[in-house]
């Protein structure tokens, strides 16, 4: 059965309020959680960017949920520091933490003053960083010379079992590449045929473990408000690679989104006021074969979304096909 989790967006919500949100999400019936890890938001309108690793300790300590984070080792983060952070959370909260390791975005990484490498170099740097992290989590002393440098690093506090390292992918090519090292795959909502290709490519390349999906959505009882919210908060997140990798600042993302229209946000955000439509659309995405689906309401205010989805959406998504609850999913469309 698919697990439905809550996505905590550090770019949009103050970390104290985000901590309360994940606590409420657990009470509402969300079965897991994940968070972003940014130095800057995607837009000045989003307006936040708390430090994920500080927040994760508090979130794990004050809920019983399993948590993941999307991280980019190699430039802003030295891979030995990522390994130490993962090991400590894994030791304190056994079996409840995972990390998805990607090649990063210039917006977050340029703060070091180092040049932003080509995608080929970033991919190589990611693979070297993954190897360093795995070896450190296995208790080895690691020295390495390459796109990253490590000198006689060793972790002195280790978890009983290393946290899973997932591979994030939004393209078929990346899904194939991460299959060589990942313990699982995570991607974002895209057209069904694209998602099937991504999951299929990962499995065909030997990819193991669970596959997870992050769904960006905007809900409000008023459909016009739901669309305005998605346009205000998420129109800077519609750009395909390489543009989304290479822009340098929130200001640049805002400038690049100047010609995005409100109706355009539907390509990247599930926008609806109907619980029944949301149940159907989220369920359709999950049917591609995802083990975990993380729901991200793209607004600043998370409490109304958590309460509404806990009451009207999660029970329908969790109901086995053919049960009374499952059949009710079709009739719930009139709810607001």
Rg for the chain (alpha carbons), in Å?
A: 19
CA 177 distance to own-chain centroid? 19
Token pair 């991504």 is found at: 198
The reported pLDDT for the residue numbered 326 is 46
For 7-56, what is each residue's pLDDT tens digit?
Answer: 999 999 999 999 999 999 999 999 999 999 999 999 999 999 999 999 99
Task: Identify the pLDDT of residue 331.
Answer: 35
First to last CA, the chain: 26
**C-alpha dihedral, 5 to 21 to 282 to 42, nearest 10°:** -100
Residues contacting 268, CB < 8 A, separation 6+: 189, 216, 234, 237, 238
Give the per-residue pLDDT at 12. Answer: 98
CB 66 within 8 A of CB 140: no
Looking at the chain, which runs of residues are DSSP E strands? Answer: 3-8, 33-35, 67-71, 97-101, 142-145, 149-153, 164-168, 185-188, 211-219, 270-272, 292-297
Give residue-wise pLDDT tens across range 96-119: 999 999 999 999 999 999 999 999
pLDDT of residue 320: 63
**Taking a C-beta distance cutoff of 8 angstroms, is the pair 217, 293 a contact?**
no
**91: exposed, middle or buried (Cβ count in 10 Å: 0-12, 13-18, 19+):** middle
Q: Are 168 and 36 in contact (CB under 8 A)?
A: no
**Mean pLDDT, residues 230-253 taken together:** 96
Predicted local distance difference test score (pLDDT) of residue 334: 31
For 15-24, what is each residue's pLDDT tens digit? Answer: 999 999 999 9
Confidence of residue 321 (pLDDT cuts 50, 70, 90): low
Residues 135 and 127: their CA atoms lie apart, in Å, by 12
Q: Does the structure show a pLDDT above 90 at 206? A: yes
Pairing outcome for strands 142-145 and 149-153: antiparallel
> What is the average pLDDT across 172-178?
97
> What is the pLDDT averaged over residues 167-177?
97
Tell me the average pLDDT across 154-162.
98
pLDDT of residue 182: 98
Instruction: Provide the pLDDT for residue 319.
Output: 80
Active site residues: 38, 105
Q: What's the pLDDT at 233?
A: 98
Per-residue pLDDT averaged across 125-142, rounded?
Answer: 98
Q: How far is CA 121 from CA 70, 74, 157, 270, in A?
A: 20, 11, 31, 34
> With b meaning 16 or more CB within 10 Å and e meaning fewer, what string describes 106-132?
bbbbbeeeeebbeeeebbbbbbbbbbb
The per-residue pLDDT of the chain, averaged, comes to: 95
> What average pLDDT does range 256-278 have in this prediction?
97
């Amino acid at each position: 059965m698919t697990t439905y989790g809550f996505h905590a967006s550090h770019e949009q919500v103050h970390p104290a309020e985000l901590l309360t949100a994940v606590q409420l999400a657990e009470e509402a019936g969300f079965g897991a959680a994940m968070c972003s890890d940014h130095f800057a938001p995607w837009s000045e309108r989003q307006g936040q960017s708390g430090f994920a690793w500080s927040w994760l300790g508090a979130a794990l300590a004050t809920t019983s949920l399993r948590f993941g984070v999307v991280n980019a080792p190699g430039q802003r983060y030295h891979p030995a520091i990522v390994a130490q952070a993962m090991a400590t959370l894994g030791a304190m909260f056994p079996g409840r933490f995972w990390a998805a390791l990607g090649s990063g975005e210039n917006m977050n990484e340029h703060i070091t003053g180092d040049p932003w490498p080509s995608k080929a170099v970033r991919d190589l740097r990611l693979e070297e960083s993954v190897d360093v992290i795995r070896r450190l989590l296995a208790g080895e002393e690691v020295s390495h010379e390459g796109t990253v440098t490590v000198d006689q690093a060793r972790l002195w506090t280790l978890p009983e079992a290393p946290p899973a390292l997932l591979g994030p992918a939004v393209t078929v090519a990346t899904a194939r590449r991460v299959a060589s090292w990942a313990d699982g795959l995570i991607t974002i909502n895209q057209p069904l045929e694209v998602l099937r290709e991504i999951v299929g490519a990962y499995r065909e390349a030997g990819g193991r473990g669970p596959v997870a999906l992050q769904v960006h959505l905007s809900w409000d009882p008023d459909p016009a408000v739901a669309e305005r919210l998605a346009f205000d908060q998420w129109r800077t997140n519609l750009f395909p690679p390489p543009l989304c990798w290479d822009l340098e600042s929130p200001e640049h993302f805002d400038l690049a989104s100047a010609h995005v229209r409100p109706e355009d946000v539907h390509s990247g955000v599930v926008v609806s006021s109907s619980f029944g439509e949301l149940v159907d659309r989220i369920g359709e995405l999950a049917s591609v074969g995802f083990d975990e689906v993380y729901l991200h309401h793209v607004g600043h205010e998370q409490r109304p979304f958590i309460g509404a989805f806990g009451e009207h959406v999660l029970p329908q998504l969790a109901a086995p096909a053919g049960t009374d609850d499952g059949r009710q999913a079709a009739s719930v469309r009139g709810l607001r």
